[in-house]
Structure 1
Amino acid sequence: MALLLENTLKFTKPVLLGGVLLATAMFAQSASNKPIKIGEINSYSTMPQFTQPYRQGWQLAVEEINLSGGLLGRKVEVIARDDAGKPEEALRHAIELTSREKVDVLAGGYLSNVGLALADHAQKNRRLYIASEPLTDAIVWDKGNRYTFRLRPSTYMQAAMLVEEAAKMPARRWATIAPNYEYGQSAVASFRELLKARRPDVEFVGEQWPALGKLEAGTALQAMMQSKPDAIFNVTFGADLAKLVREGNQRGIFPRVPVVSMLSGEPEYLDVLKDETPKGWIVTGYPWDQIDSQEHASFAANYYRRFKEYPKVGSVVGYSTMQAIFAGIKKANSLDNEKLVVTLRGLKFSTPFGPAEFRAIDQQSTMGAYVGKLDMRGNKGTMVNWRYADGKAYLPSDAYVKARRPADAMK
């Protein structure tokens, strides 16, 4: 499939009709030529290992839709902004995009605290916001609102996927390590709650809460080992994950102490770990080179053809974010945000991982994740013994959601 390198839409000039007819024709032509604008905000400068593939993913989706004729007969344009990982920067951009650029939809967010700031803006300004990456449960539950939908499987969902494996382990004493902000706190809370429900005999004997990007791995590991854990639940990622793994390998902690780890099987992080990848960790991730479904094969081939590199999780998230937005606009046949909210509730859309939908009660997507173990292939880490965990199987009951989500968010 040929990928779009430049916009091929051609617009015709209005026919000279004279007087009022000319003005009317020109107005209609201008309206039809006006692009559909999507405002995209993300941590491009601070999290490039994820957000660069993410940008390429949404660029591919936009190029494909424009090549096919656009949406509602109009070109799609994405206006991207860098929030530098700061909620206040994200909010500043959101205000500018909605007030000056007049975007039709907002999307993006990487860090959970940034996503919550954008969700608050969406609620106050009644502007549809598709939270692509922020994983905190609060964004669809405790602080959920009518205008915010979330794409990726949440901390609760990924914790539930990992607990399914952790509950089978003989480990009874658990230590946790997670970045001390919304995402890490939410992930640990969900893991504790769900594992205790399956295994009442387990106890959590130690917690480490390093500031994001400032992990002192030796100190943290020493403190954890003093509590004599049978296993560790890890939520660190990026540079902090690399520090933790290197120090743990050098001290002989890994693979001696089993680890269950969120996100660590994603290519973004395995590419950094390389031959230091710890064998045997149970992880959520993305074994991109082993998935043979038709949806994924087509996406991966088109992505490689366009960017000359293999896809990462960010690539899938960026692509799927736009696919969800496009599906909603097509079905609603409108850009009216109130109509889009109603349309997106229960909306089915396609992703490289397979079909997904936004659950109506909390506006959480059923997009899943891959669960498996880390191993080495050549000089780099990979996932083995993996399975696809369909997100809809790891969502809590309606009663659970109703107890946490504000009532006005479900109207």
Structure 2
Amino acid sequence: MLLAAGAAILAISAGAQAQATIKIGEINSYKAQPAFLEPYRRGWEMALDEVNAAGGVLGKKLEVIARDDNGNPGDSVRIAEELMARERVALLFGGFLSNTGLALTDYAKQHKVFFLAAEPLTDKIVWQNGNKYTYRLRPSTYMLVASVVKEAAKLKKKRWAIVYPNYEYGQSAAASFKALMKQAQPDVEFVAEQAPPLGKIDAGSVTQALADAKPDAIFNALFAADLGKFVREGNTRGLFDGVEVVSLLTGEPEYLDPLKGEAPVNWIVTGYPWYAINTPEHKKFVDAYRKKFNDYPRNGSLVGYAALMSIAAGIKKAGSTDADKLAAAFSGLKVDTPVAPIVYRAQDHQSTLGAFVGRTGVKEGKGIMTSFTYVDGAALQLPDAEVKKLRPAD
């Protein structure tokens, strides 16, 4: 009897402890994409500590249960099911690759679970596959392309070559760049297109094919290890000599730093020049990050931090973790981030987080962004009428 009574007390105690926290599931490709996602994890961990140190949300501490999906959409869905059934999480966030992000977007729709896509860039998350329960933090592929097209058009180059990873993000980036450039510069020509499989680029053959086309300029959407191989091979073969390059993501420290002194010079890029953003809000973020991790932030750090802060703000506004109430609360939700205040748009569930656009350079043997500006995400999105055509009704 005493043993049974003790077990009952322990069970009640465990249940009370579980109810004292709000469990949040986080799913990502940590092993497959460590350059971005290790800093990203630090970012949301720092935000989590800040939120909980301030008393949590709705009188409860937040608890994040993170899982690795191996960069596999099937694993993403399986893990989502496990987190919901076994861990009893209230909502989900995360995602990195476009295909895993789309899998989780569909899961959220089918199971009526709130999902904040922190990093996946595919436009489909907020357009064709958009749904009531899914919101997205980072600028979309279209938005990133739109942020550089204005600068690309200023170059007045006619013959363009394009290189991108052959999956959703890369295909979308190439399509958006061609469409937007045609609008901005009707006489533009696309003389070569290379689409190597993600993570498996044959940099020699790709750079040679581009060089053979003799372009005036190149649009690049490669990232991570593929980018490094492309840059090194292109430098060796003289591909970039006298050729302008416009490149998505390259200015992010995750991808620029590993190149060190081999970093490309004078490319037009999107990125995150953490070392030169001098606002009080950003300095506070950098100082706190350095103190906690003895390291500098990457773009992933910023995304992870803003994602968790968005979730905390959404739960507070909703007054609940109910999926329908959270979805309603995120519509028009305003969140302060270290780089700018953002709003989650009611029209398409896309945040107005923008992009830093500038040129690359090398300083003291390290790649940097120079002459950059911050482009507000609200200025990079399609008109509402166009969004309505692309997005199904919730």
- Kindly indicate whether residue 375 of structure 2 is the aligned counterpart of residue 382 of structure 1: no
Confirm or deny: 8 A CA contact 1:41 1:80 kept in the other structure.
yes
Name the residue aligned to 1:367: 353
- Kindly indicate whether residue 300 of structure 2 is the aligned counterpart of residue 314 of structure 1: yes
Residue among 90, 94, 98 paired with 1:112 = 98
Q: For the residues of structure 1 that align with 2:197 and 2:141, how far apart are their CA atoms?
A: 18
Confirm or deny: 8 A CA contact 1:255 1:280 kept in the other structure.
no
Q: What displacement does 1:243 show?
A: 0.4
Listed as ranges, the matches of 1:3-402 within 5 Å are 30=16, 33-402=19-388
1:167 counterpart SS class: helix
Q: What displacement does 1:368 show?
A: 0.7
Q: Which amino acid aligns with 1:332?
A: A
Gaps of 5+ in 2: 1-8
Q: For the residues of structure 1 that align with 2:336 and 2:307, how far apart are their CA atoms?
A: 10
Q: For the residues of structure 2 that align with 1:179 and 1:382, how far apart are their CA atoms?
A: 24
Q: Deviations over 1:106-151 (max 9, x none)?
A: 0000000000000000000000000000001011001111111000
- Output the TM-score relative to the length of structure 2: 0.95
Q: Deviations over 1:286-342 (max 9, x none)?
A: 110100111111111101100000000000000000011111111111111101111
Q: Deviations over 1:255-286 (max 9, x none)?
A: 42111000000000111111101111000001
- Output the TM-score relative to the length of structure 1: 0.91
Q: Which amino acid aligns with 2:366?
A: K
1:260 counterpart SS class: strand
RMSD: 1.4
Confirm or deny: 8 A CA contact 1:261 1:281 kept in the other structure.
yes
Q: For the residues of structure 2 that align with 1:255 and 1:314, how far apart are their CA atoms?
A: 31
Q: What displacement does 1:229 show?
A: 1.2
Q: What displacement does 1:396 show?
A: 0.7
Q: For the residues of structure 2 that align with 1:307 and 1:190, how far apart are their CA atoms?
A: 38
Runs of 4+ in 1 over 6 A off after TM superposition: none
- Give the aligned length: 383
Gaps of 5+ in 1: 1-22
Q: For the residues of structure 2 that align with 1:352 and 1:189, how far apart are their CA atoms?
A: 31
Confirm or deny: 8 A CA contact 1:371 1:386 kept in the other structure.
yes
Q: What displacement does 1:34 show?
A: 2.5
Q: For the residues of structure 2 that align with 1:175 and 1:261, how far apart are their CA atoms?
A: 12
Percent identity between the two aligned chains: 55
